[in-house]
Amino acid sequence: MRIGWLGLGAMGAPMAGCLARAGHSVVAYDIVPGRAAALAGDGVRAADSITGAVRDAEIAAIMVATPDQVDQVLFGPAGAAGSLAAGAVVVIMATVGPEVVAEVATRLGRGGVTVVDAPVSGGVQRAAAGDLLIMVSGAQDAAGRVRPLLDALARSAPVVGPAPGDGQRMKLVNQLLCGVHIAAAAEALAFGESLGLDPGECWRVLRDGAAASFMFEDRGERMIAGEFREPRSALDIFVKDMGLVSAAAEHAGASATLTAAARRLYEEGHGRGLGRLDDSALIEVLRQDRPERPRSRADDQSPGHAGFSD
C-alpha cells in the first residue's frame, strides 16, 4: 500500500519502519529534520513537506502528539487536506480525543476523504515489533481498506465502533488505566523507600505477585534505575491524556476520582520540569514530596540501639 506517514516521534518512527519492513511503500515527514532520513535503512522514504508525504498516498497515517498538531498537519497553511485525493483514507493513530476525530472526519468528508480512528497502545518496543493494540473505529469499508496497515502494526486491532471517535473513547479508558497504574507504581516504590526498603527488592518481589501489572513491571524497572533522560513515553503525554480522560468523564457525568489524583501528580511533574523526561520520572514527584525517611527496622537493630526509636 502507498502510505504517507506524518509524525516520527518515539512511537511514530518505529511504526513507520515496521510498515516499510512489511513491504508497504512508506513516505514520511516530521517537523524535526533528519528523522525521516534516519529510517532509510528500513525502507522509509523521506519527504521534504507534509504535502510531499501524502500527495500520492492511498492512506495518510497521522501519529502526532496533540489535537493542535492534528489540526496543523491537516488544515494548516501547509497541511495535507488539500493534497489528499478523493477516496483516500486518513488514519488517526494519535490520542487526541473523540471530538477532534469526529470533527476531522466531517471536514475531510466534504472532499471525499474518509477517516479511520485507530489510536494505539503498547509502547516503543511493541511498536517496532508490530505488536501493538490498535482500537479501530469507522465505516466498515474504510476500516477494511486499512486492514493491511493495521495487521502489520498490531497483534490485535479490533473494531470497537462504527464511527470515528469510538476508538478514541476506548483509548481513553486504556489511558485511565495506564496513567493510574504508573502513578500507583511510583507511589508504591516511593512508599517502600520511605519504609526503609530497597525499592529494587520491592520491585523484584512484588512483580511476581497479585500486585503485578505491566506498568509496574515496565515503568517500575526504569523508576529504580533512574533511566529518565531518554523517554520512551514522555511524562507530558500523560499530562495531555489524563486531561482528555478528565474532560470526557466530566462530559459523561462519570466518576474519575483516581484519574483526578493521578492527573495532579503528572501536572506537578510537568511543573517541576520533568515533562520531557520518561513518564517513569513521576516517582521523583513522590520522592520530593515525602518527609524524611523514618528509621527502618535495620536501623533500630544497629549496634548500640535498644528498643524502638522515638
**Amino acid at residue number 167:** G
Long-range CB contacts (within 8 A, 24+) of 178-181: 178/121, 178/215, 178/238, 179/238, 179/241, 179/242, 179/245, 179/259, 179/262, 179/263, 179/266, 180/258, 180/259, 180/262, 181/213, 181/214, 181/215, 181/216
**Is 171 an annotated catalytic residue?**
yes
Instruction: Give the rounded distance of the alpha carbon of 138 from its chain centre.
Output: 21
- Angle (CA) 71-77-80 rounded to 5° is 60
Kindly report the backbone phi and psi dihedral angles of residue 29, in degrees, each rounded to the nearest multiple of 5, phi listed first: -140, 140
Q: Which of 35, 171, 219, 222 is catalytic?
A: 171
Q: Which residues contact 138 (CB under 8 A, 6 or more apart)?
A: 105, 114, 115, 116, 117, 118, 162, 163, 164, 167
User: Which residue in 189, 211, 215, 191 sits closest to 202, CA to CA?
Assistant: 189
The x, y and z cell numbers of residue 275, run together, are 515533562
The x, y and z cell numbers of residue 58, run together, are 492511498
Task: Check if the beta carbon of residue 232 is closer than 8 Å to that of residue 124.
Answer: yes
Task: Check if the beta carbon of residue 92 is closer than 8 Å to that of residue 85.
Answer: no
Can you spell out the DSSP letters for 274-304? -TTSBGGGHHHHHHHHS-SPPPPHHHHTSTT
Helix (H) or strand (E) holding 216: helix 214-225
The x, y and z cell numbers of residue 162, run together, are 462504527
- Active-site positions read 171
